[in-house]
Amino acid sequence: MKTIQVIIERENETNLSQTSNLYSGFVGLLKNLGFINHFKNENFISLEIIKNNDVINFYITSNDLLIKGVSDSLYAVYPKVSVTSCIDPLSSIGLTSVSKLKFSKPNYFPIKNSEDMFEHFLHHIINSLTNNSGVQVVINNVSNRFYLSVSRFISSVAESNKQGEKQVWPAELISSVQDKINENCFNVTIRAFGENIKAIENTFSQLQNRSVDIEFKDEKLSNLVSRNYSNLFGFKSGILNSKELSILWHLPNSLKFSENIKFLNVNSVSLPENLPTEGIQLGNASFRGKESKVKIKDTDRRRHTYIVGQTGTGKSELLKYMAYQDIVNGKGVAFIDPHGNAVEDLLKIIPDDRVKDVIYFNPADREKPIGINILDVKTEDQKHIVINSFIALLYKLYDPDKKGIIGPRLERTVRNVMLTSMSSKDSTLIEVLRLITDYKYANSRIEKITDPLVKKYWTDEIKSTTDFHKSEVLGYFSSKFDRFVTEKTIRNIVGQRKTTLDFDEIVNSKKILLINLSKGQLGEENSVFLGYLIISKILVTAMNRTGKTNFDDFYLYVDEFQNFSTPDFVTIFSEARKYKLNLIVANQFIKQLSEDIKNAVFGNVGSILSFRVGSEDSTYLHTHFKDSFNQSDLVNAGVGEIFTKLLIDGKPSKPFLTHSPWHLINNLNAHASEKTAEKIKKMSALKYGRDKDYIDLEIAKRLNLDE
């Protein structure tokens, strides 16, 4: 036996005629199958409405040979329905009261079956249910003898009337009997079950009329839960046609039902015919019973991936799973995590053969700080990329709306001071600070400047400026800058002359860089600052591939990427494809992005994955998903449901629904190893960190203002 759960979309036009067609389709399925069943047809379909955990669910159970046909019939009648295999819901029903309905004979008299009954009877049934209660309707084809006996009855009544005998049966009743057999008819057994089934039984009394009475009799629990034909049917309740059955069990319409019914959160849409069979897996998708893996090719990932969705919908889990697959596949990966939880989880599931490739960067480790010297560059072009990134950082931190707090004058100062510092080997942000606070030190550096325009800035512009204005200009820069040098945790990272992380090796030798920028431990500004430095370093390294022809893809994951979204990202989105620097970025709200970043994302990103979003974001995203989904779908998605517009072979697909692969993710989490995580942390600290006492002494010496 197999059981399916049937879930229909919220907005549908289920009606009596449509549902009657469903039951008419069941007739062919229930016919005798093969020689063995020729004389005894024991095929059945069991339809159930059950309330569990305050939610109303609709189920159908039948044998293995019939269940596919049942599913196909449902798809044919309800184009936007979800049919999924599930555990038999009656298998977990405990001790409960069970009763079986009996219609009065003869079986060919019809029950009430108007359009009005179709709309209201199910409503009353659902209102009568309590948790772990429900209704079971088991059906099987009637034999031809039934139709013959009814035809004989109608003929005999007609003959009596012709001979002038007293009319026993009203004409309208005979007409309704004829109408009944004009539809397909079924043997029916109906049960109610639950702790308090009187309310359910009373609801069925609405089906009575002057010709048909209804009564309930106690029934064994085994007859309810057994999927054996003889137990399920036993003595049948009566015979109903497809129209009458439609009154008892049909899929609901949300416009008519306000109860806690299990509806589809989003529309069911067809899947692209050319779904990739290679690449990393994003999840699973199904349409009309056929389930497919959703994968994305490496070549399509070079156009980047954008993930958006409210907190708690599954974004971070998907990011982790994607990164894990890249790691298993031997790819180069960097994962920037402003919360810290994702990289901590990744550390625990690193495969043994890749442990030595992992670099764990946790700035909150104050004992063995890893060094990142932002001024450590190799070419003139790299100098300007670093400086532009630093200026963008100042804007983001102090003047995000560009109201003049950071302006051209300060930009000019930053540019010249940083270029001056870069003219000497092994300079860091420590030396930049000294240039603007120690005039004696600044004068000693001027003669080493090789760029005539930079030298002119010091010899003409600054020299001719009065001490007051000089102090004003450089002091204003210092006030915006020195927090990154005076704060000890950051100073011991950016103040080291040698970058202990070899970004060229990381990007070009397929290393794994996991970066814990937990705002809770670092503070928001420090987290953003370090994220900027790392992204800038990765971008500079990737762009240094210019002129090379043979290099591997590198995957940069950034969660809550609005924190680090500077013009560097515009560059990466538009140009990094040719350097095989592939972005996978995620955030909660589109409004968190500046206009230029938003335009860069939706103008350049190849694949867009949207979890549940708010109403404002749904308005914007609807333009990208409107071919398959409406705004209501975007705001009503369940956890792990992903609206997917995938780049396939360089072309965007029609939007479709993907489900997060929770079973795979949970299996990974179940095998997480704290021992592996601790091993990697110790290895990274020993290999890339330096003793904090040594760094303190070195920086103190370089900050000596009497030098």
The answer to whether 192 and 216 are in contact (CB under 8 A) is yes
Res 380 pLDDT > 90: no
Which pLDDT score, from 0 to 100, does residue 707 have? 43
Rounded to whole angstroms, how far apart are CA atoms 668 and 281? 14
Strands annotated E in 496-636: 512-516, 554-559, 581-587, 607-610
Most confident of 409-413, 561-565, 610-614: 610-614
Q: Mean pLDDT, to the nearest integer, of 74-89?
A: 86
Three-state DSSP at 309 gives: coil
Residue ranges of the domains in the chain?
A: 2-248, 373-498
Angle between helix 567-575 and 380-398 (nearest 10): 130
Res 645 pLDDT > 90: yes
More confident residue, 511 or 533: 511
Which pLDDT score, from 0 to 100, does residue 254 have? 63
∠ CA 219-225-229, rounded to 5°: 85
Q: Describe the strand order of the beta sheet including 305-308 as a list of residue ranges.
A: 290-296, 280-287, 656-659, 641-645, 607-610, 305-308, 581-587, 554-559, 332-337, 512-516, 358-361
Which pLDDT score, from 0 to 100, does residue 35 have? 41
Which pLDDT score, from 0 to 100, does residue 166 have? 62
Q: Mean pLDDT, to the nearest integer, of 45-72?
A: 92
pTM: 0.75
Which pLDDT score, from 0 to 100, does residue 37 have? 44
On the question of a cis peptide bond just before residue 89, with omega within 30 degrees of 0, the verdict is: no
How many Cβ atoms sit within 10 Å of the Cβ of residue 365? 18
Quickly list H helices, 194-304.
Answer: 198-204, 221-225, 229-233, 242-248, 298-301
Res 534 pLDDT > 80: yes
Q: Mean pLDDT, to the nearest integer, of 20-42?
A: 71
Which H, E and C letters describe 670-688, residue by residue?
HCCCHHHHHHHHHHHHHHH
For 585-599, what is each residue's pLDDT tens digit? 999 999 888 888 898
Res 176 pLDDT > 70: yes
Rounded to whole angstroms, how far apart are CA atoms 562 and 544? 25
Rounded to whole angstroms, how far apart are CA atoms 170 and 156? 14
Instruction: Find all residues with CB under 8 Å of 192, minimum gap 6, and list them.
Output: 98, 99, 101, 133, 134, 135, 136, 200, 201, 204, 216
Going by C-alpha positions, the residue among 422, 361, 373 that lies closest to residue 695 is 373
Res 651 pLDDT > 90: yes
More confident residue, 29 or 705: 29
Q: Mean pLDDT, to the nearest integer, of 640-660?
A: 94
Res 189 pLDDT > 90: yes
Q: Mean pLDDT, to the nearest integer, of 292-320?
A: 94
For 660-703, what is each residue's pLDDT tens digit? 999 899 988 888 999 999 999 999 999 999 998 898 888 888 77
More confident residue, 508 or 258: 508
- Tell the burial category of 353 from Cβ atoms under 10 Å away from its Cβ (0-12, 13-18, 19+): exposed
The answer to whether 624 and 609 are in contact (CB under 8 A) is no
Which pLDDT score, from 0 to 100, does residue 545 have? 82
Q: Mean pLDDT, to the nearest integer, of 148-176?
A: 81
Instruction: Give DSSP secondary structure letters for 397-455.
Output: HH-TT-SSSS-HHHHHHHHHHHHHHHTSTT--HHHHHHHHH-HHHHHHHHTT---HHHH
Rounded to whole angstroms, how far apart are CA atoms 531 and 515? 9
pLDDT-derived band at 199 (thresholds 50, 70, 90) equals very high
**What share of the chain in percent tops pLDDT 70?**
93
Instruction: Find all residues with CB under 8 Å of 41, minimum gap 6, and list them.
Output: 30, 31, 32, 140, 141
**Mean pLDDT score across all residues of the chain:** 87
Contacts 24+ apart (CB under 8 A), 380-387: 381/543, 382/540, 382/543, 382/544, 383/418, 383/419, 383/422, 385/536, 385/539, 385/540, 385/543, 386/418, 386/536, 386/540, 387/414, 387/415, 387/418, 387/419
Rounded to whole angstroms, how far apart are CA atoms 417 and 409? 12
Rounded to whole angstroms, how far apart are CA atoms 322 and 308? 15
pLDDT-derived band at 473 (thresholds 50, 70, 90) equals low
Which pLDDT score, from 0 to 100, does residue 40 have? 57
